């Protein structure tokens, strides 16, 4: 990896984690998009997995008393089924597919019929979401928005939601690491220096956001959070379409 790429990765980590710390969301989605521009898919997925694992393991430790292990355990069955299914194909999405799916996913949760209410305490649904979210992670690198709809459709209190979602994210990103660093053809590798710097920059970015969070009013937060989700998703969708259509005009 060139020094220039390493500097770009560090800057990306810093900025996306600052945004994530500020808005409490979307960090992983923006990060994977930028990493996919800088690196090959396998390498981007591995580096993204390492940093997301670090932040989610931290959340698991902080909120460990609130984890609903019964839900996490059933969800993990779904995750393993997804890993087994994907391992048969050893499919690696090309960048066009990854960007298109990244762009479309947040809108999928918005168009879901209201009467199709998820229930985080339903075992069949936990397995279903385990398969679906882990499949999405293997396709796009992230499944946060989809996982949120699952956890919000139940009777869990807020700390249980954050804690149990973190465990599910640890599972998902571990599966992603195993898949892209070991199972696929031509697996991605990331050296220790890059991984260490990425985690360090992520921690600095998150910490730097803390004082700014207090200055955001409730209305400003809502306005910008919506703008970020919509504009990032729209950009990814357009970029994915452009990557698809590009070769047609060559």
Partner 1 sequence: MADAQSLDPLILDLVEWVAREPRPYLELIDAWRTSCPRLTVWEDAVERGFVQREGVSLPATMVHVTGAGRAFLVAHGRI
Q: Distance (Å, rounded) from C-alpha 41 to C-alpha 36?
A: 6
- Give the chain's radius of gyration (CA, Å): 18
Q: Which of 8, 25, 200, 208 binds partner 1 (CB under 8 A)?
A: 25
Tell me if 151 contacts partner 1 by CB under 8 A.
yes
Tell me if 21 contacts partner 1 by CB under 8 A.
yes
Burial of 77 (0-12, 13-18, 19+ CB in 10 A): middle
Please identify, using beta-carbon distances, which residue of 55 and 237 lies nearer to partner 1: 55
Task: Give, as ranges, the residues between 153 and 212 that touch partner 1 (CB under 8 A).
Answer: 153, 155, 157-159, 161-162, 165-166
3-class DSSP state of 42: helix
Length of the chain: 250
Q: Are 80 and 136 in contact (CB under 8 A)?
A: no
Residues 65-94: x/- map of binding to partner 1 (CB under 8 A)? ------------------------------
Q: For partner 1, which stretch binds (CB under 8 A), given 69-77, 90-98, 129-137, 141-149?
A: 141-149
Q: Distance (Å, rounded) from C-alpha 50 to C-alpha 32?
A: 12
Q: Distance (Å, rounded) from C-alpha 167 to C-alpha 68?
A: 9
Please identify, using beta-carbon distances, which residue of 116 and 185 lies nearer to partner 1: 116
Residues 213-232: x/- map of binding to partner 1 (CB under 8 A)? -----x--xx--xx--x---
Residue count at the site for partner 1 (CB under 8 A)? 28
Residue 225 Cβ vs partner 1, minimum distance, rounded to whole Å: 6
Residue keyed to tokens 């385990």: 130
Residue 165 Cβ vs partner 1, minimum distance, rounded to whole Å: 7
User: Following CA atoms 27, 29, 31, 32 in sequence, which dihedral angle do they give, to the nearest 10 degrees?
Assistant: 160
Tell me if 45 contacts partner 1 by CB under 8 A.
no
Burial of 195 (0-12, 13-18, 19+ CB in 10 A): middle
Tell me if 114 contacts partner 1 by CB under 8 A.
yes
List interacting residues with partner 1 (CB under 8 A).
20-21, 23-25, 27, 59, 114, 144, 148-149, 151-153, 155, 157-159, 161-162, 165-166, 218, 221-222, 225-226, 229
């Amino acid at each position: 990896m060139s020094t220039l790429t390493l500097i770009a990765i560090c800057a990306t980590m810093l900025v996306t984690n600052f945004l994530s710390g500020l808005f409490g969301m979307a960090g992983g989605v923006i990060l994977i998009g930028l990493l996919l521009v800088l690196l090959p898919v396998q390498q981007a997925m591995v580096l993204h997995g390492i940093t997301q694992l670090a932040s989610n393991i931290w959340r698991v430790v902080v909120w460990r008393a609130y984890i609903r292990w019964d839900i996490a355990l059933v969800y993990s069955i779904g995750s393993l089924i997804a890993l087994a299914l994907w391992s048969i194909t050893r499919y690696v999405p090309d960048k066009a597919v990854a960007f298109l799916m990244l762009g479309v996913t947040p809108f999928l949760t918005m168009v879901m019929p209201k009467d199709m209410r998820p229930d985080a305490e339903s075992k069949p649904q936990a397995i279903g979401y385990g398969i679906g979210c882990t499949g999405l992670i293997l396709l796009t690198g992230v499944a946060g928005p989809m996982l949120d709809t699952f956890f919000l459709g139940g009777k869990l209190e807020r700390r249980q939601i954050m804690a149990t979602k973190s465990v599910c994210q640890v599972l998902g990103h571990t599966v992603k690491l195993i898949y892209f660093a070991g199972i696929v053809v031509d697996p991605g590798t990331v050296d220790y220096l890059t991984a260490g710097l990425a985690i360090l920059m992520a921690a600095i970015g998150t910490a730097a956001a803390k004082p700014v969070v207090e200055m955001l009013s409730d209305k400003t937060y809502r306005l910008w959070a919506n703008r970020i989700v919509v504009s990032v998703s729209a950009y990814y969708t357009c970029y994915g379409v452009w990557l698809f259509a590009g070769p047609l005009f060559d």
